[in-house]
Chain A
Amino acid sequence: KAGVTQTPRYLIKTRGQQVTLSCSPISGHRSVSWYQQTPGQGLQFLFEYFSETQRNKGNFPGRFSGRQFSNSRSEMNVSTLELGDSALYLCASSPAVAGTGELFFGEGSRLTVL
């Protein structure tokens, strides 16, 4: 089975721009969640989607949004980029409906905002 695939792996943007990151979960996994990892704040939960519905959302401003498609693929979007948005964005999929199973992570998308 193919693992979780995130694209692009690396990208550089300037302040004020927007960015869209993509995540393809493991086949059969309907839960997709997103995390932001920075040296200062560590790993922080952004949001989780299950069957195309946002089920949970972390404490991030409205500039951070996401969606899930019928094939479980997910995208997240960050608008009006700020320097502090520079981070590794990790996507994870899970076969579990509730938080009773493991998360399978992709390799991440490393965003640099200049």
Chain B
Amino acid sequence: SQQGEEDPQALSIQEGENATMNCSYKTSINNLQWYRQNSGRGLVHLILIRSNEREKHSGRLRVTLDTSKKSSSLLITASRAADTASYFCATDGGYTGNQFYFGTGTSLTVIP
């Protein structure tokens, strides 16, 4: 399976704290993306980082990528209750086309 893994599986923090989740993947990639999913609904794209990039920022999100370790991390700063969701990393497995391999997800709970 080309599915990646994320850790922790679940994370519970207080509002205002930072949340960090990690993703490890198995193959070479062209890019890695992070998505958010609110309970049982569709996924929403958060950020894309290309294989030749090491860090990327978008608002309160910071993503790092280490292709030598085949790992990425997502940092959400100053978390809010509305950030409560599951977060998934997705890689293209080095393929062309729009097929992506999703990690197992981190369930984040932000306590008001």
Q: Which of A56, A88, A106 contacts B40 (CB 8 A)?
A: A88
A90: Cβ under 8 A from any B Cβ: yes
A64: Cβ under 8 A from any B Cβ: no
* Contact segment of A11-19, A65-73, A76-84, A94-102: A94-102
B87: Cβ under 8 A from any A Cβ: no
Interface string of B82-112 (1 = CB under 8 A from A): 0000001010100111111111110000000
> Can you add 15 more A-B contacts, CB < 8 Å, to A98-B98, A99-B31, A108-B41?
A4-B42, A33-B99, A43-B88, A44-B3, A44-B102, A45-B100, A48-B98, A58-B99, A90-B43, A98-B96, A100-B30, A104-B45, A105-B35, A105-B43, A107-B42
Output the least CB separation between B82 and chain A (Å).
18
- The total of interchain contacts (Cβ-Cβ below 8 angstroms) comes to 78
- The reply to whether B97 and A101 contact each other, CB–CB distance below 8 Å, is no
- The reply to whether A56 and B33 contact each other, CB–CB distance below 8 Å, is no
- Which A residues fall within an 8 A CB radius of B? 4, 31, 33, 35, 42-45, 48, 50, 55-56, 58, 88, 90, 92, 94, 96, 98-108, 110
B48: Cβ under 8 A from any A Cβ: yes
| Chain B residues touching A, majority SS | loop
Provide the residues of chain B in CB contact with A106, threshold 8 Å: 42
Provide the residues of chain B in CB contact with A92, threshold 8 Å: 43, 98
Residues of chain B in range 35-90 having any CB-CB distance to chain A below 8 Å? 35, 40-45, 48, 88, 90
Closest residue of chain A to B2 (Cβ to Cβ) is: A45
Please provide the 5 A-B residue pairs with the shortest distance between their CB atoms, ordered closest to farther: A105-B42, A102-B45, A43-B102, A99-B92, A56-B99
Provide the residues of chain A in CB contact with B33, threshold 8 Å: 102-103
Output the least CB separation between A6 and chain B (Å).
8
